[in-house]
């Protein structure tokens, strides 16, 4: 692996080294790996990425999930270019594509009666939590341990509250998380206990879940889990928030709500909701749940929660989302990407068995997990142990990610892969033969 990077990736090394002088940490957004150094990308199209040195990779990162149609998808680019030609990327006034996006989401997700465009998944989570508090008049929020809902103070990843052990919590005052509680994955008993405890703390405004399970399906939930959470929310008068940043449109155009047949009060969107274009985020739900969102100019100060953003709901990202969803419907992209995910997973599991490796491959359609087999046993109840095990696991998977890259495959930190409509059987089979080469070398580890 090291040999590959040192000999074939000199231009990447040079520019990412130079970046360290002007950008904290050198790179600002790198979901693949930093070991031995990050790759710099020049081109992306369909199923492939090209780095600065001209090396071509099969792209199973797909930007972290938004590009279900494949990278740099021309029909959406062309439609968006027309919008830019006419209005530019932003005017600060209403544009038809705001409505078209809300309408097309509603067409495939009828429970999203109203939709508010925002700037990112993180912002959308902030807005959904605020909306739940405003409309229930309750205070507490419950999330699931290990879930990622963006990087805002109240729900930041890995935070264990209450208690003294807080991961990734630098710069976040304890008070900011004082009204957040975490329940254990898959554990309805703890969730119910937190809901009961919270009655003495001003009640639970919302339970927020990633419907496939924490970190979008890395720790999958049983099929009826979401329905049970829905029931508990109804019993305790709390809102159920689905974080569909990853799953929205990817697990089918109806999202995870459609897949599980469970209707949340509020849904958070990101990633695919602007088809891979910037400003991917928004909140939607029933007209009742969305009633606390106003236009911001309706003069009803105090009746509505404040949300905003100079660039939110801009014509460019709304049009990109609208055209991407329309194309996904026309091409059946989520299903095609899902089949590619199935093929990749089956092939990976065969290779794992062939070499007797301590890994496991599993998928939810186009979301493919390739994990050290210990991951499903990580003990969420013991934060210190969890932290140590998880750190070890992350390092190992990241190093594997670099090894995959040295054989022409880009993954999300070596442990997750997103397939897209561009992944034909040939692409998947090519990838599997490359994985075979990597696994052949780690035999006996």
CB of 268 to ligand PMP, least distance (A): 7
Residue located via tokens 């059987």: 425
Residue tagged active-site, from 271, 277, 404, 423:
271
Joined together, the tokens standing for residue 428 give 């998947």
CB of 127 to ligand PMP, least distance (A): 12
Residues in the site for ligand PMP, rule: CB under 6 A?
A: 64, 120-122, 125, 148-150, 210, 216, 243, 245-246, 270, 280-281
Identify the bridge partners of residue 417 per DSSP, sorted by sequence position.
368
Which residues, including other chains, have CB under 8 Å from residue 130's CB and lie 6 or more apart?
Answer: 305, 307
Decide whether 11 or 31 has the Cβ nearer to ligand PMP: 31
CB of 248 to ligand PMP, least distance (A): 10
CB of 123 to ligand PMP, least distance (A): 7
108 classed as catalytic:
no
Decide whether 116 or 149 has the Cβ nearer to ligand PMP: 149
Residue tagged active-site, from 57, 143, 194, 243:
243
CB of 230 to ligand PMP, least distance (A): 18
Decide whether 280 or 375 has the Cβ nearer to ligand PMP: 280
CB of 271 to ligand PMP, least distance (A): 6
Decide whether 112 or 280 has the Cβ nearer to ligand PMP: 280
Phi and psi torsions of 68, nearest 5°: -65, -25
423 classed as catalytic:
no
Q: How far apart are CA 115 and CA 102, in angstroms?
A: 6
Residue, CB closest to ligand PMP: 121
Q: How far apart are CA 272 and CA 69, in angstroms?
A: 9
Sign of the alpha-carbon torsion through 431, 433, 439, 441: negative
Decide whether 276 or 383 has the Cβ nearer to ligand PMP: 276
Residue located via tokens 């109806």: 254
Decide whether 120 or 411 has the Cβ nearer to ligand PMP: 120
Decide whether 12 or 312 has the Cβ nearer to ligand PMP: 312
Residue tagged active-site, from 73, 148, 277, 359:
148
Q: How far apart are CA 317 and CA 119, in angstroms?
A: 9
Is residue 321 within 8 A of residue 275, CB to CB? The reply is yes
243 classed as catalytic:
yes
Decide whether 38 or 214 has the Cβ nearer to ligand PMP: 214
Cis peptide before 162 (omega within 30 of 0): yes
CB of 152 to ligand PMP, least distance (A): 9
- Report the residue count for the chain: 445
CB of 52 to ligand PMP, least distance (A): 25
Is residue 184 within 8 A of residue 381, CB to CB? The reply is yes
Which residues are catalytic, by number? 148, 243, 271
């Amino acid at each position: 692996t090291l040999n590959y990077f040192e000999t074939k990736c000199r231009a990447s090394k040079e520019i990412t080294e130079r970046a360290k002088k002007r950008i904290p940490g050198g790179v600002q957004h790198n979901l693949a790996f930093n070991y031995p150094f990050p790759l710099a990308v020049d081109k992306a199209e369909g199923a492939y990425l090209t780095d600065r040195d001209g090396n071509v990779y099969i792209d199973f990162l797909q930007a972290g999930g938004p590009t279900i149609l494949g990278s740099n998808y021309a029909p959406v680019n062309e439609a968006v270019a027309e919008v830019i030609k006419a209005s530019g990327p932003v005017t600060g006034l209403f544009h038809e594509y705001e409505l078209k996006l809300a309408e097309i989401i509603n067409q495939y997700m009828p429970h999203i009666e109203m939709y508010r465009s925002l700037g990112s998944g993180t912002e959308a989570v902030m807005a959904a939590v605020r909306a739940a508090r405003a409309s229930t008049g309750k205070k507490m929020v419950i999330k699931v341990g290990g879930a990622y809902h963006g990087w805002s103070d109240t729900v930041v990843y890995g935070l264990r509250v209450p208690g003294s052990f807080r991961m990734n919590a630098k710069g976040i005052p304890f008070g900011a998380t004082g009204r957040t509680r975490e329940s254990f994955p898959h554990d309805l008993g703890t969730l119910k206990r937190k809901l009961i405890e919270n009655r003495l703390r001003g009640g639970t405004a919302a339970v927020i879940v990633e419907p496939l399970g924490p970190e979008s399906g890395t720790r999958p939930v049983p099929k009826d889990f979401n329905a049970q959470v829905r029931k508990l929310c109804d019993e305790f008068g709390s809102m159920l928030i689905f974080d569909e940043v990853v799953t929205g449109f990817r697990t089918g155009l109806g999202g995870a709500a459609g897949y599980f047949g469970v209707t949340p009060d509020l849904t958070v969107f990101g990633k695919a909701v602007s088809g891979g274009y910037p400003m991917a985020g928004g909140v939607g739900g029933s007209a009742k749940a969305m009633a606390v969102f106003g236009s911001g100019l309706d003069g009803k100060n105090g009746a509505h929660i404040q949300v905003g953003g100079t660039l939110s709901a801009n014509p460019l990202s709304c049009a990109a989302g609208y055209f991407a969803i329309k194309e996904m419907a026309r091409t059946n992209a989520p299903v095609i990407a899902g089949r590619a995910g199935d093929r990749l997973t089956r092939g990976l599991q065969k290779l794992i068995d062939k070499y007797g490796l301590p890994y496991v491959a599993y998928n939810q359609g186009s979301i493919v997990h390739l994990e050290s087999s210990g991951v499903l046993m990580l003990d969420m109840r013991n934060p210190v142990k969890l932290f140590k095990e998880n750190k070890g696991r992350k390092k190992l998977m990241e190093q594997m990610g670099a090894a995959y890259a040295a054989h022409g495959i880009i993954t999300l930190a070596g442990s997750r892969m997103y397939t897209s409509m561009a992944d034909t059987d040939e692409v998947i089979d090519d990838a599997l033969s490359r994985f075979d080469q990597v696994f052949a070398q780690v035999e006996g580890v």
